[in-house]
Structure 1
Amino acid sequence: MDIARVPFGYFKGEPVTKYVLTNDNGVQAGILDFAGLLQSFKVPTKDGGKADMVLTSENLDEFTNNGFCTNRLIGRVAGRIAHGEFKVFGKDFKLEQNEGENTLHGGTNGFYNHIWHVDSTDVSDDRASITLSLTLSEKDDTFPGTIHVTATYTLDDDDNLTLKFAATTDSDTIFNPTNHTYWNMAHADAKTVDDLTLQVNSKYHLAVDGGKIPTGEKVANAGTPFDFEKLTRLGDALKKMASTKENGFDDIWEVEPSLTKPVATLEDKASGRKMELYSDRNGLVMYTMNSDDKAVYNHGQVHPHLGIAMEAQTLPDAPHHPEFGDITLRPNEEKTYTIKWHVEY
């Protein structure tokens, strides 16, 4: 096990550092202190090289010059909050509206727009970890209360990368973070995720309005393009979504939370590379990068459906739908959430 430190450019004039966690099998996770960004997740290949499981770049500007939150930590609250307003414990709050009249991914000054403090790094016989922290006040991001968040990435010798969030606050607030990494473990020049296969432990997805805000209705997946109960070729599912406004998925699945049984499995049969996703929360937002925006996504390439974001979280807009889950955070309370990825190669 090893952790190396590599300079990785500048953000708003401040230096950014990449921390490369390497296990004894040669698996590597590159973590930036900027946005807690998962810059790379490399695995050994059969020819003795390494392949990245995620969309990546060696240039920080190629992560920061688009609005797609590529591979960053997201919060305080991931996803959309309808009308940028919510009520918690009888108090009404109004947030910055940064997507029309809604609040998206914690607003323009959320987790994804800061250099985090590196609290510690640790290496033992079978694991390496890094703990990042960030403190935001209401003046920073318009959410109530001052929140202190830690995010600990741990890579172990069983080829698991685990991300544990923990948060405390000095005032009633809400907390529902995620990681916004885009995956594509196919061969390096694959232009889409079409040939990947996906399985999701889900029976329902959420109905949404034109602004992608959940209506509260849960729709059965069976018989729809949202049905990934069995491993399904993504290209086949995406073809069924070609006539939609999005030309792909930007949608929400209700999943069975588990840190022992995969919430979702993404696989490239040609290479044998596979990622299993575990989460202790009930929501999975998947976005198939439907845009052909000229922002750079992956070593200078840009194609619709080049990657798939798999955002594990509590079902979005929970303050307006209490049945979706409790994302409140109160003083003298610590709330933790865990996401885990297991890779095979």
Structure 2
Amino acid sequence: MEIKESSFGTFEGQEVKKYTLINDQDMRVSVLNYAGLLQEISVPGKDGKRVNLVLSAADIEHFTDNGMCNNRVIGRVAGRLGKGEFTIDGQEYHVDTNENGNTLHGGPNGLGNQFFDAQTVTTPNTVKVVLTKTMTPEIDSFPGNEKVTVTYSLSNDNRVVIDLDGETDANTLFNPTVHTYFNLGDPDVATVEDQVLQVNSKFHLDVDGEKIPTGKKLVNAGTPFDFQTPRRLGDALNEMKDTKEGGFDDIWQVEPSTNVNHEPVAVLSDPASGRKMKLYSDRNGLVMYTANGMDSSLKFNRPSASWCALAMEAQTLSDTPHHPEFGDITLRPGKSAHHRIVYAIEF
């Protein structure tokens, strides 16, 4: 087990540092102190060449010159918050908006646009990088000084564990995620069409024209959204290509699980290489986005095009302050919140 630290350039006058966690199987996980960005989950390929399983870039400029949110920590609130408003204990709050009068992914100054303090930890069985950031109303307009701790851990059983912890001095919201784009194929595999997806879900959320949940849940069975049994992604995407989105940008209700003895929330596999990623989450939502209409000029480790990767964002169902039946993401003083996301990798 090993941790390496290196420079990843500069952004907005600050040095971007990269922390690379390496286990005894030579699996590597690299995390940046900017945006808590997951720059690498790589494994040795059968031809000896390393394969990065996430959509990535070789420098910070190509992560920050677009709105893809590649592999960033997202918060305080992942997904869309309708009209940028919510109520806690009768008190109404209004926060900054950044998409059609709504707040997307924590707004224009959310966690995905911040530098974190970083520390590394090595134990006999795991290597970790611990990121901390205190979000204030002056930074992102949300109430409360909210201390956020994000811990990335890599173990010798090839599990990437992401612990997301929050505490606050005033009533606020806490529903973070990591906006990880996966493509498990070899480096020359341009899309995820031939990869196979299974999702432990019977329903997805109905949304309005601005992608805000209406409160209605739609049955997956008999639709392109049905991944209860493993399904080739390309077959489902071909049914979605003539829709407004041209693919998926949707919210599935899933059965929570962080225990490897339980059913994973989702499984993505690549039959050609034999690689597989099992996703575990302790929350009831999974947003999936297939990079529809991606700008071909973007400089990533794979050709930029629609369906080049699958973003899998584990979280509590979106816009819960307006739909309490979806869950409660309120964080109060004196209480702490903890969420866990696990990527169990097989190669």
Task: Give TM-score scaled by structure 2 length.
Answer: 0.98
Judged with a 3 Å threshold, the aligned counterparts in structure 2 of structure 1 residues 210 and 13 are, in CA distance, closer, same or farther, namely: same
Shift of 1:191: 1.6
Tell me the alpha carbon deviations over residues 21-69 of structure 1, each in whole angstroms, 9 at most, x when there is no partner: 0001110001101111000100122223321111111111111110111
Shift of 1:320: 0.2
Query: What is the CA–CA distance in structure 2 between the aligned matches of 1:136 and 1:127, rounded to whole Å?
Result: 28
Query: What is the CA–CA distance in structure 2 between the aligned matches of 1:294 and 1:61, rounded to whole Å?
Result: 16
Is it true that 1:24 corresponds to 2:12 in the alignment?
no
Shift of 1:292: 2.9
Question: Residues 1-345 of structure 1 correspond to what in structure 2 (within 5 A)?
Answer: 1-118=1-118, 120-260=119-259, 261-294=263-296, 296=298, 298-299=300-301, 301-345=303-347
Query: What is the CA–CA distance in structure 1 between the aligned matches of 2:198 and 2:301, rounded to whole Å?
Result: 28
Does the CA-based 8 Å contact 1:198-1:234 persist in structure 2? yes
Judged with a 3 Å threshold, the aligned counterparts in structure 2 of structure 1 residues 319 and 297 are, in CA distance, closer, same or farther, namely: farther
Shift of 1:116: 0.5
Residue identity opposite 2:226 in structure 1: D
Query: What is the CA–CA distance in structure 2 between the aligned matches of 1:291 and 1:48, rounded to whole Å?
Result: 33
Shift of 1:295: 5.2
Query: What is the CA–CA distance in structure 1 between the aligned matches of 2:138 and 2:294, rounded to whole Å?
Result: 34
Judged with a 3 Å threshold, the aligned counterparts in structure 2 of structure 1 residues 297 and 197 are, in CA distance, closer, same or farther, namely: farther
Query: What is the CA–CA distance in structure 1 between the aligned matches of 2:166 and 2:11, rounded to whole Å?
Result: 25
Residue identity opposite 2:68 in structure 1: F
Residue identity opposite 1:323 in structure 2: E
Task: Give TM-score scaled by structure 1 length.
Answer: 0.98
Structure 2: runs of 5+ lacking an equivalent: none
Query: What is the CA–CA distance in structure 1 between the aligned matches of 2:109 and 2:294, rounded to whole Å?
Result: 25
Query: What is the CA–CA distance in structure 2 between the aligned matches of 1:28 and 1:163, rounded to whole Å?
Result: 15
Shift of 1:300: 6.7
Tell me the alpha carbon deviations over residues 60-117 of structure 1, each in whole angstroms, 9 at most, x when there is no partner: 1111110111110000000001111111111100111100111000001000101100
Query: What is the CA–CA distance in structure 2 between the aligned matches of 1:336 and 1:249, rounded to whole Å?
Result: 28
Name the SS of the counterpart of 2:142 in structure 1: coil
Query: What is the CA–CA distance in structure 1 between the aligned matches of 2:136 and 2:46, rounded to whole Å?
Result: 48
Does the CA-based 8 Å contact 2:18-2:30 persist in structure 1? yes
Residue identity opposite 2:44 in structure 1: P
Structure 1: runs of 5+ lacking an equivalent: none
Query: What is the CA–CA distance in structure 2 between the aligned matches of 1:193 and 1:232, rounded to whole Å?
Result: 12
Matched pairs, number: 344
Tell me the alpha carbon deviations over residues 168-218 of structure 1, each in whole angstroms, 9 at most, x when there is no partner: 111000100000010001121222110110000000000110111111111
Does the CA-based 8 Å contact 2:76-2:176 persist in structure 1? yes
Query: What is the CA–CA distance in structure 1 between the aligned matches of 2:77 and 2:65, rounded to whole Å?
Result: 22
Identity %: 51
Shift of 1:294: 4.5
Does the CA-based 8 Å contact 1:55-1:297 persist in structure 2? no
Shift of 1:289: 0.3
Residue identity opposite 1:95 in structure 2: V
Shift of 1:293: 2.0
Residue identity opposite 2:268 in structure 1: L
Judged with a 3 Å threshold, the aligned counterparts in structure 2 of structure 1 residues 326 and 124 are, in CA distance, closer, same or farther, namely: same
Residue identity opposite 2:265 in structure 1: V
Shift of 1:6: 1.0
Query: What is the CA–CA distance in structure 2 between the aligned matches of 1:201 and 1:295, rounded to whole Å?
Result: 35
Provide the alpha-carbon RMSD of the alignment. 1.0
Instruction: Name whichever of 332-341 and 184-193 sits farther off.
Output: 184-193
Query: What is the CA–CA distance in structure 1 between the aligned matches of 2:48 and 2:59, rounded to whole Å?
Result: 25
Residue identity opposite 1:117 in structure 2: D
Query: What is the CA–CA distance in structure 2 between the aligned matches of 1:12 and 1:58, rounded to whole Å?
Result: 18
